[in-house]
Structure 1
Amino acid sequence: MNTKAIYAACLFAALNICTLSARAEADVSARTYSYGTHLDIKKVVSLTQDTTNACGIVDAQLTYLDSQNKTQVLDYRKIADCNEDN
C-alpha cells in the first residue's frame, strides 16, 4: 500500500474524530443557575460575560467539564468587571 494513501487515511480518520467531538459539544444546552443549584465542576473551560461598557449586573456564561468529562454550560448573572475611577 502506498504511504501517501496511509497518511491520507490517518488524516481523514483524525478529522472525523475532531468533527464528532465538536458536534457533541455543540449539542450542549445551557441551563440557568438558581440559588441552590448543585454544581459538579471538574474543570472550567471558559468564562464569558456580556460586552457592555456599563458597570452593574450583566449576563455571564460558564462552560465547564463535570466529573464525567461532559461539557456543561451554565448561564448566570454577575456584577460586571469594570474599572471606575472614583
Structure 2
Amino acid sequence: MNTKAIYATCLFAALNICTLSARAESNVQAQTYTYGSHLDIQKVLSLTEDPQPACGVVNAHMTYLDSMGHKQALDYRKFSDNCSNEN
C-alpha cells in the first residue's frame, strides 16, 4: 500500500514539474521587429492583427517555433488584411 502512495506522489510531482515548465514557455516575451532583424522561424503557430475596418497599417503579432523548437513571439507592423482588394 505504501509503494502505491509513493508512486502516486512521484507521478504528481513529475506532472507538476512538467506543468510549470509549460507555463514558463507559454509566457514568451515578444520581440519587436526592426529592419535587418535575424528571424529564425521554423513553424508559425499563430498570426493576429489589431482589428481595423479600413485599409491601413496595423500592429500584428506572430507566435512561432524557432529551429531549436522554442516558442518565440514577434510584434511587427503590416498593411491590414482589409487592403487586399485595394490598389
Same fold (TM over 0.5): yes
More helix by share: 2
**TM-score bin (small chain):** 0.7 to 0.9
Question: Among the aligned pairs, what percent are the same residue?
Answer: 44
Structure 1 residue 65: deviation in Å? 0.6
Return closer, same or farther for 1:34/1:54 CA change in 2, 3 Å cut-off: same
State the one-letter code of the partner of 2:33: Y
| Unaligned ranges ≥5, structure 1 | none
State the one-letter code of the partner of 2:54: A
Q: Does 1:25 align with 2:46?
A: no
Please provide the CA RMSD for this pair. Answer: 2.8
Corresponding residue of 2:67: 67
Runs (4+) of structure 1 moved beyond 6 Å?
5-9, 83-86
State the one-letter code of the partner of 1:22: R
How many aligned residue pairs are there? Answer: 85
Return closer, same or farther for 1:55/1:68 CA change in 2, 3 Å cut-off: same
Answer with 15-24 or 49-58: which moved more. Answer: 15-24
Taking structure 2 as the reference length, the TM-score comes to 0.73
| Unaligned ranges ≥5, structure 2 | none
Measured against aligned partners, the alpha-carbon deviations of 1:47-73 in whole angstroms (never above 9, x if no partner) come to 000012121100001111111111111
Secondary structure of 1:58's match? strand
